[in-house]
A and B are shown apart, each in its own frame.
Chain A
Amino acid sequence: MTWTSIVTKELTSRLQGRLSYVILTLMAVAFTGLVLGSFWIIVTSVPTLVPVIGSSAGGGGAVTLTGLVAGYRGVFLFFAMAFCLTAAIGVIAPAVASASISSEREESTFDLLLSTGLAPRSIVFGKLAASALFVLLVILTAVPGFAMAWMFGGVGPIDVILTIVLLLSTVLLFSSIGVFCSSLGRTSAVAALYAYGMVFLLGMGTIALYFIGASAQMEATVRPLLALNPWITLFSVPDQISGQVAQMLPFQYRPFLDSGAQQDIFGMGGVRYPRWALTLVLYTLLTGLFILLSTVAVDPCHRWKSNRWARAILDRGNS
């Protein structure tokens, strides 16, 4: 598999620079601060005499947010960190991946790479894998912080596995968006701009579209759009707690947290999945789509480019 040569080269090249260590250090410091901050908020701001699980959480109308946090400190800390980690992925992955191909163009090495005879899909796979691995390396620095959540307990192994899978699929999607934008952009700055725009659309655009749809009496139709939002999807993992928190929110915000563990697919009755499952399916499809489009975009002789429109859109980086 010659695409592994790209992974080796990219990681060798990246890890020989100082910038990587600066990023890794900053990430470790930021997450240490975040963990300590969350710990301080959760432990010191919440009454120590907790209304324990089952009393407040399951006690009908007497449920309060403070009570829930006190009852599920570990879970709240765990998902607060996962939420921040997703934000970190949203910042780091587009930046790293959007430079992957456009930087080759900027440094006049892309033609050399193509002329090795590596298939364009191998180039895209290699760039995607290298970017995703680097992002994973960076976010791994945050893993020790999760130990604090374990200290409190209450996080089930299924929740941990689901969260890891969601984070990985988010890394892959954001990296594939970055690689796609990089394959279109003639400069890394332009590619990064495109990539951040698309991540912003996934984050804020989905919420805006949801509100627009909901206000047009199409709430059930647009609700699955929320599955494209990685932050909102995280709430669907600890579904019982999220459902309880949702009951404390104004009505129009409840669908963000209350996926009800079940999700209608575009209003089709009877076809229901948890939001995270829909997210995984959509992210896999989108990642595949971005890989395919990137493959076409990096290949200057791709047969699709005999079409004028495909050439106009996907040949921007080569023109």
Chain B
Amino acid sequence: MALIEFEHVSARRGGAQALQDLTLSVDDGASLGLVGPNGSGKSTLLRVLAGLTRPTEGRAMIDGIDLRRDPTGVRRRVGYVPEQFGVYPRLTILQYLAFFAQASGVSQWERRNTVDTMLRVVDLYEARNQEAAGLSRGSRRRLALARALLHNPPILLLDDPLGGLDGRGRLELVEVLKEVRGMGITLLVATHLLADLAQVCDSVAVLRAGRLAGAMPLAAALGGEGRGRQRVTLEVLEGQGTIGALLVQQAGVLDVTEQEGAISFVYEGDRAGLATVLGGLVGSGVRVTHFGRGPEGLDELSAALAEGDDARISA
């Protein structure tokens, strides 16, 4: 059952046409990554979904509610974490969440429990009496996520949730998102790079110049991973020049590329076969320092899709 239905939706933002004739359907419980370059309309799409930008044309139904008729009703069914957001000065984390819980209509007797639960989910319980304004960027993102989930919305919208976070911050937030994903919430995540969200999203939609360029399951987007095909990255201590020749001799290895010392190849086969490839390299005396499915594959895909490589979209 579709929880979100957009039919020929157009919207303007900042005086410019940001969405054009967009038709999209997202099923209940799905987890969709929105990919596209800057200005492709990802943020505007999320804002329309959150009831914060009025569509100029088309029909937008969210959880059975017409956005044009009842934008407040839509806002009550959506949790939204914008790319840029602030926190109120002088309020502690606890006061901050308590305010949003009350504003979201969480009843008085549930409020304390809800806030405590969310603080534990995002791992901020111990810091609850600190001023929210003093939190690090990563902790702020987790606080924003807790805020968005306070009223138990069926839909969660995240605009570039990992942008500007360091490695640790990303890992922490991805873990929280995996937990959120386990709650059965329908998730829409706008991002430049799908790599970090590969564990969270199960499908991907590509936006280009405010239009939907394509949508597909993430496995299909990964170059046919569903058929047992994946891109593997490799780092070796020495002898990069000979690796290509060694790799192509291995069964299942396709499309070996080497760029600025980084080696990657497409492998078609199962995990046991991949282990055999690694064994073959080591047996040939290659000192391997890294071997695995690289995030570069996803990021490369994001960029290619956004830039108009339609061959990949239909893959």
Contacts and interface: CB of A to CB of B under 8 A. Distances in A.
5 contacts: A115-B79, A116-B103, A117-B72, A120-B72, A301-B52
B250 interface: no
B52 A117 contact: no
Given A5-B103, A109-B88, A117-B105, 17 more contacts: A2-B103, A2-B104, A9-B95, A12-B95, A13-B88, A108-B82, A109-B85, A111-B50, A112-B82, A115-B50, A115-B78, A116-B151, A117-B151, A118-B104, A119-B72, A301-B67, A306-B54
Decide if the interface of chain B is mainly helix, strand, loop or mixed. Answer: loop
B105 A2 contact: yes
Interface of A: 2, 4-6, 8-9, 12-13, 16-17, 107-109, 111-120, 299-303, 305-306, 319
Nearest to A9: B99
B100 A112 contact: yes
Contacts of A17: 89-90
Contacts of A299: 71
With a 10 A CB-CB cut-off, give which of A5, A8, A301 has the most chain B CB atoms. Answer: A301
Contacts, number: 100
B90 A115 contact: no
B75 interface: yes
A12 B94 CA distance: 13
Nearest to B101: A5
B63 to A, nearest CB: 12
B15 A301 contact: no
Contacts of B47: 111
A116 B91 contact: no
Contacts of B276: none
B199 interface: no
Interface of B: 14-15, 47, 50-54, 67-68, 71-73, 75-80, 82, 84-91, 95, 99-100, 102-105, 144, 147-148, 151
Contacts of A116: 75, 100, 103-105, 151
Contacts of A120: 72
A305 B99 CA distance: 29
A114 B14 CA distance: 19
Contacts of A107: 86, 88-89
Interface centre among B53, B88, B103, B147 (most CB of A within 10 A): B103
A180 B294 CA distance: 53
Contacts of B144: 112
Contacts of B86: 107-109
A302 B54 CA distance: 8
Contacts of B89: 13, 17, 107
A13 B85 contact: no
A186 to B, nearest CB: 12
Nearest to B147: A112
Contact of B88 (A5, A9, A118, A306): A9
B54 A115 contact: no
Contacts of B99: 5, 8-9
B75 A114 contact: yes
A114 B80 CA distance: 10
A12 B151 CA distance: 22
A17 B53 CA distance: 33
A115 B52 contact: yes
Residue of A108, A112, A299 contacting most chain B CB atoms (<10 Å): A112
Contacts of B148: 115
Contacts of B84: 108
B75 to A, nearest CB: 4
| Candidate in B67, B87, B88 with the most chain A CB atoms within 10 angstroms | B88
Contacts of B15: 319
A111 B151 CA distance: 16
Nearest to B85: A108
A194 B61 CA distance: 38
Contacts of A6: 103
Shortest 7 CB-CB contacts between residues of A and residues of B:
A117-B76, A301-B71, A5-B102, A107-B86, A108-B86, A116-B103, A301-B54
Contacts of B87: 109
A3 to B, nearest CB: 8
Nearest to A311: B54
Contacts of B105: 2, 116-117
